[in-house]
Amino acid sequence: MTGRKILEIQNVKREFTMGTETVRALKGVSFDVNAGEFVTIMGSSGSGKTTLLNMLGCLDKPTEGVYLLDNVNVKELNRDELAKLRNTKIGFVFQAYNLLPRTSALENVELPLLYNPLIGTEERKERAIAALKAVKLDGRFDHTPNQLSGGQQQRVAIARALVNEPVMILADEATGNLDTRTSYEIMSLMQELNSNGKTIVFVTHEPDIAGFSSRTVMLRDGKVQKDTVNTDRRSAKEALASLPESDDY
Amino acid sequence: MKFVNLIRLAVRALQRNKLRALLTMLGIIIGVASVIAMMAIGEGSKQAINESLSSMGSNMITIMPYSNEPGGARLMGSSIQSLTIKDIDALEESAQHIAKISPLVSSSGQSINGAANWPTSIQGVSPDYLDIRKLTVKEGIIFSEQDLRSSAKVCLLGKTVVDNLFPGGQDPIGKIIRFKNIPFQVIGVLNAKGQSNFGQDQDDIIIAPYTTVQKRILSSIYFNQIYASATNEGASDAAVDEITATLRETHRLRTGEENDFQVRTQAELMTMLNSTSSMMTALLTAVASISLIIGGIGIMNIMYVSVTERTREIGLRMSIGARGKDILMQFLIEAIMISVTGGVIGVILGVTSAFVIPVALNWPTVISEFSIIISFIVCAVTGIFFGYYPALKASKLDPIEALRYE
C-alpha cells in the first residue's frame, strides 16, 4: 500500500557550532517515506536520532541537503511558515505526552485547531470529539490529564496529533514512559491508524517496538546504517493477547 | 489564534492562579484607587472654593483707591481719597459691561439697642449692593432711592447683629437702634451668609444708605470702595478695561501716570486659589502614580515567572503550530488582563472611597470622569508596556529547547 512520496530526504546534513567546535550531528542522510508507510527510526543515543526528528518535525532546518515534506521545501520557509506547516501537515506525539495540565482532554485535542484560523468553533469541537473517539476515549472528554492513566494520556496526545488530519504522524519515543502492556496497546492503536492509511514515523530505541512497523531505518553516527523493510511484521493486537494476564489484583 | 480564544485563554490562565493574579493586581488596584480618590478630593476642594467664591458674587468687581507713590508715608488703600460719586455717575453713564454698581463707605463702631450693645461695622451702600454681593433680605424691605436722596436714617441688619442686639428673639423690624449715637430705624433683616473664605463673619454688618453714612457718620464725600458686577462672568475682563479707562478719565490721569485706583475681579481670586489646590492635586496624583508604576513592575515580574514556568507549554504550542506572534499575544493579553482587571477593581474602590471620604472625614469630593478614563488608559498602557518584554521573550523561545525544558 505504498503511494506518493510524503518525505524526501536527500543528503541532509546538520551542524551545530558549540563555541569554536563544530558538531556534525547528521552527516548526509537520505531516505524517502511514502504515504501509508509505518517507519521506525532507530539508533542509539548520539546517533543523530533527535536531530533528525527535529528536522522531520520542521522544528529545525538542515544546514545542507534537501528536505521535502509533502513536496514543500522546508529549507526555504521562515519561522511562521514552518509553524503553519507543523500545524497542518504534522501530528506530534511526545514521550512525555506534553498535555496541558488542568485542561480537559477535549480542549487538549482542540489545541492545534485553535491555531488554524480556517476552522470555526463548531468544527473544532466536532473534529476533536471524532479524534477522541478514534483513540477509544469517548466518555472521558472532560477528564484532565491528572485524572487519566499514562496510556490514556498518550491516547489523548495521539488524538491531538490526529485532529488536524496531518500527512504524517511523528512519534518521539511515544512508548518510552509506558509499561509493556500499555506500550502494546498504543502500538496496536498505531497499527490500526496505519491500516486506515495514516503515514507514521516512529522514533524509538526499542527493537521490540520496531518489530510492529513496516520498515526500519537504523541511524549510526549521523548516517543511515541500515534501511530494511520488515518482512515478518508483528501484530500488536496478537502480542497483547499473548501477554500473561495482569496479576495486579 | 482568534482574539476571542486569546481572551478565553488569558482568563483561564488567571483563574488557575487566582491568588497570584490578585496579588499581582494589588499594586495596580491601590494605584488606580488612590489616583481616583486623590483627584476626587482635589476636584472637590476646588469646587468648594469656587462655590463659596461665586456665592460672594462670581462676576463681582471691586474698585479700591490705590497709591504707589514711592517715598513718603505709604497710605492704606482705604484711607486714600480718590473715589467719589462722580466716578459712579461716569461709570453708570458709559460702561457697557457693568450690570450693577454701588459705592461702599464703612465705619466701625458700637451699636446699641437698649441694654444690649455690639461692636460692628456699618456699610453705606446703594440698593444694588445686595445684588452684587448676593445678599438677600429675609424680612422687611430694602431702602429706596428716596431714602438715598434724603440720607434717611434706616438700616438692615445682618444675622449676627440681630442675635446680639435682640437677644430675646424680639422682632427687630421697626425698632430704633443706635450706631455711634445716631439712631437708625431697622427696616429689614438679611439672610445669613456664614463665613467667607477668609474666615470673616459676613453676617456681622449693618447696611445703610451710603449718603447717610457719608453725611451723618463720616462727614466725607469719598468712598472706601466701589462694587460693581459685570453683565456676566465672561464680561469681567472687558468690564475691568472699561472701568479703568473711565476712571482714568474722571481722575484726569495723563498717559504714563499711574492709576490711583485698583480694579479686582473675583475671577483673579478664583484662579489664585485654584492654582494652589491644583498643585496639591498634582502632587498627590504624582505620588499615587508611583504606586501604578510599581504595580506595573509587579506584573512584569510575575509574567517573567509565568513564562519560565510555562516554557514546556510554549514549546508544545509552537510545535503544534503556534507562531511567535500567537505566543506573544497570549502572554501580552494575559498581562493586559491583569492590569485592566486591577484597574476595574481600583476604579470601583476609588469611586467607593470618593463616596465614603465626605461622610467619614467631611472632605468634599467630586469624581471626575477624566480621572477614571485616564487611570484606565494608564492601566492598559502599563499592561502593554510591562507585559511586552516577558511576552517577547516567550515568543522568541526555540521550540526544540522549550519542549525539553525541565
The alpha carbon of residue B279 is apart from the nearest alpha carbon of chain A, in Å, by: 52
Give the list of residues 6+ apart from residue A248 with CB closer than 8 angstroms, or none: none
* Burial degree of B258 (CB within 10 A; 0-12, 13-18, 19+): exposed
CATH superfamily of A41-61+75-230: P-loop containing nucleotide triphosphate hydrolases (3.40.50.300)
Chain A residues within 8 A of B316 when measuring between CB atoms: 94, 98, 100
- Look-up: residue for cell 558538531? A23
The mean pLDDT value for A141-155 works out to 92
Of B325, B399, B396, B321, the C-alpha closest to A84 is B321
Distance in Å, alpha carbon of A114 to nearest chain B alpha carbon? 6
Smallest CA–CA distance from B404 into chain A, residue: A96
- Residues of B in Cβ contact (< 8 Å) with A103: 12
A and B: number of Cβ contacts within 8 A: 58
Residues of B with CB under 8 A from a CB of A: 1-2, 5, 12, 16, 312-313, 315-326, 399-400, 403
Confirm if A174 and A154 have CB atoms less than 8 A apart. Answer: yes
Helix locations, B310-368, DSSP H: 311-319, 324-360
Instruction: Decide if A63 touches B, using CB distance below 8 A.
Output: no
Q: Burial level of B238, CB count in 10 A (0-12/13-18/19+)?
A: middle
Task: Provide ipTM, 2 decimals.
Answer: 0.90
Residue B317: its chain A contacts at CB < 8 A?
A: 111, 115
- Rounded to whole angstroms, the Cα distance separating B391 from B379 reads 17
With an 8 Å Cβ cutoff, are A115 and B317 in contact? yes
In chain B, residues with a C-beta closer than 8 Å to the C-beta of A102 are 16
Angle CA B205–B108–B174, to nearest 5: 45
Beta bridge partners of B295: none
Q: Could you tell me what percentage of chain B is helix, strand and coil, using 3-state DSSP and rounding each to the nearest 5?
A: 55, 15, 25
Task: Give the pLDDT of residue B256.
Answer: 77
User: What single-letter DSSP state applies at residue B288?
Assistant: H
| Domain ranges within chain A, ordered by starting residue | 41-61+75-230
CA–CA distance from B327 to each of A124, B315, B394 (Å)? 20, 10, 7
Cα dist from A110 to A113, B310, B358, whole Å: 6, 19, 54
Q: Give the tens place of pLDDT for each residue, A3-58.
A: 688 899 999 999 888 888 888 889 999 999 999 999 999 988 888 888 898 899 99
Q: How far is CA A39 from CA A3, A33, A208, in A?
A: 14, 8, 14
Closest-CA distance, B322 to chain A, in angstroms, reads: 6
Tell me which residue in B2, B315, B321 faces A83 most closely, judged by beta carbons: B321
Any bridge partners for residue B346, and if so which?
none
Nearest Cα of chain A lies from the Cα of B370 at a distance, in angstroms, of 39
Ordered by start, the domain boundaries in chain B are 3-52+272-403, 67-259
Q: Using an 8 Å CB-CB cutoff, list chain A residues near B324.
A: 79-80, 83
Strands A38-42 and A200-204, by their bridges, are parallel
C-alpha dist (Å) from residue A228 to A28, A190, A214, B126: 18, 20, 9, 120
> Given B2, B315, B323, which is nearest A80 (Cβ)?
B323
The verdict on A92 touching B (C-beta cutoff 8 Å) is yes
Q: Considering only residues A105 and B88, tell me which one the structure prediction assigns the higher pLDDT.
A: A105
DSSP 8-state code for residue B255: T
Residues 39-58 of A with CB under 8 A from B: 54, 57
Q: Which residues of B touch A54 (CB under 8 A)?
A: 400
- Residue to test with chain A: of B8, B16, B319, most A Cβ within 10 A: B319
The shortest CB-CB distance from A111 to any of B12, B312, B320 is to: B320
Closest among B273, B367, B269, B265 to B46, alpha carbons compared: B273
- By C-alpha distance, the chain B residue nearest A55 is B400
For residue A1, pLDDT over 50 is answered with no
Q: Contact B320/A86, CB-based, under 8 Å?
A: yes
DSSP code per residue over A131-195:
HHHHTT-TT-TT--GGGS-HHHHHHHHHHHHHTT--SEEEEESTTTTS-HHHHHHHHHHHHHHHH
- Strand B137-140 versus strand B182-190 pairing type: antiparallel
| Residues B223, B227: Cα–Cα separation, whole Å | 10
pLDDT tens by residue, A157-204: 999 999 999 999 999 888 888 888 889 999 999 999 999 889 999 998
Nearest CA in chain B to A91: B320
The DSSP code sequence of B160-205 is: HHHHHH-TT----TT-EEEETTEEEEEEEEEPP--B-TTS-BTTSE
**Partner-chain contact A102 B16, CB within 8 Å:** yes
Mean pLDDT in order along chain B per 10 residues (406 residues): 83 86 89 86 81 71 74 56 82 82 89 87 89 85 88 90 85 88 90 73 88 87 86 78 84 80 77 76 79 86 91 92 91 90 91 86 80 83 89 91 85
Q: Decide if A115 and B403 are in contact by the 8 Å CB cutoff.
A: no
Nearest CB to A59; choose among B1, B322, B400: B400
Give the pLDDT mean for A151-158.
92
Q: Is A115 on the interface with B (CB under 8 A)?
A: yes
User: Residue A115 and residue B320: Cβ atoms within 8 Å?
Assistant: yes
Taking the model in full, what pTM does it have?
A: 0.71
Instruction: Give Cα B164 to chain centroid, integer Å.
Output: 34
pLDDT of residue A93: 92
Copy the grid coordinates of residue B247.
Answer: 476712571
Residue of A247 and B394 predicted with greater confidence: B394
Which stretches within chain A are classed as H helix?
49-56, 79-89, 105-114, 121-134, 150-162, 180-195, 207-210, 236-242
Closest CA to A157 of A90, A236, A92: A92
Q: Which residues of B touch A112 (CB under 8 A)?
A: 320-321
Q: Which residue of A has its CA nearest to B321?
A: A87
Record: contact B313-A86, CB cut-off 8 A: no
